[in-house]
Amino acid sequence: MKKIIWITGAGSGIGKALAIAYGKQGNTIILSGRKKEQLEEISTYIDHSFVLPLDVSQEDQITKATQTVEKKYNHIDVLINNAGISQRSLTHEITNDVGRTLMEVNFFGSIHLTKAVLPIMMKVNRGTIVAMSSAAGKFGFPLRSYYSASKHAIHGFYESLSLELKDTNIKVTVVCPGRIQTDISKNALNGEGQTHDKMDQGQLNGIPVDQCANQIIRGIAKSKSEIYIGGKEIILIYIKRFFPALFRFIAQRVDPE
């Protein structure tokens, strides 16, 4: 059965890869992001798509976009909250305004769109809500204090939501990518809000983004509550859970870039 799938942050990276992969399956893909030109270029690879520019940090845009989608399609099968931005700065160097930007995009943008879409799914009692977290959403890491905090918050919100929806046919999945070959480190913000403009070595050696997208799609199809994707860094999630002292020993020696 073909689905209506709404993806934010669809202009690049994991969002782009998910859009193209889902599109190849014959699904209708709603492409959202801040750069319309990027979305239109990606739409040429998808037979059934709808370009819907959206800045998730703006609540009025979320309201209007959701109304547009409901009017056009009447329902949404899968919402993938992928829009996000990373950080590369020490805590004492990052301004409060930059910190708020990270929280607005990564946390509030995700939950505000989810809250807008949820009533549409509840009307038909079906759907899947996907939130993009990070391995850094399971543990703290240097140069990523606000980023990690925003992703930790994602887990608290969506776990609560999934428990509230336990008696419905609406599923919730949180995705935790590790090091994936995307430009997330290049687009990360420094302490003054400028782009980092540098590819982390770990990112460069990460798993291919297409491979990541395929693993996410399989995990969503299985209604997994959490999906972990990456290389050896994913082991740190389990070390933190079971051996917190060992985690701190290792994390203090890992190159944050």
Phi, psi (degrees; rounded to nearest 5) at 183? -95, 20
Model pLDDT for residues 143-165, shown as the tens digit of each residue: 999 999 999 999 999 999 999 99
Q: How much is the pLDDT for 202?
A: 83
Overall number of domains in the chain? 1
Of the pLDDT bands very low, low, confident and very high (cuts 50, 70, 90), residue 253 is: confident
User: What pLDDT score does 33 carry?
Assistant: 98
pTM of the complete model: 0.96
Residue 176 lies inside a defined structural domain of this protein: yes
Domain containing 122 equals 4-251
Greater model confidence, 252 or 151: 151
The number of angstroms, rounded, from the C-alpha of 178 to the middle of its chain's C-alpha atoms is 12
The number of CA neighbours under 13 Å toward the Cβ of 84 is 32
Give domain status of residue 256, yes or no. Answer: no
Distance CA 246, CA 240 (A): 8
* Rounded Cα–Cα distance for residues 255 and 201 (Å): 9
Write out the catalytic residue numbers.
147
Identify whether 240 is part of a domain.
yes
Q: Which pLDDT belongs to residue 140?
A: 94
8 A C-beta contact, residue 42 and residue 30: no
| Average pLDDT, integer, range 203-227 | 96
SS3 readout for 75-133: CCCEEEECCCCCECCCHHHCCHHHHHHHHHHHHHHHHHHHHHHHHHHHHHCCEEEEEEC
> In this structure, is residue 73 part of a structural domain?
yes
**Does a structural domain hold residue 147?**
yes
Residue 63 maps to which CATH number?
Answer: 3.40.50.720
Per-residue pLDDT band at 255 (split at 50, 70, 90): confident
Q: Tell me if 237 is assigned to some domain.
A: yes
Extract the tokens encoding 72. Answer: 């056009």
Q: Is residue 254 scored above 90 in pLDDT?
A: no
The backbone torsions φ and ψ at residue 85, rounded to the nearest 5 degrees and listed phi first, read -145, 140
Look at residue 257 and tell me if it is in a domain: no
Position 62 in a domain: yes
76-127 confidence digits (pLDDT tens): 999 999 999 999 999 999 999 999 999 999 999 999 999 999 999 999 999 9
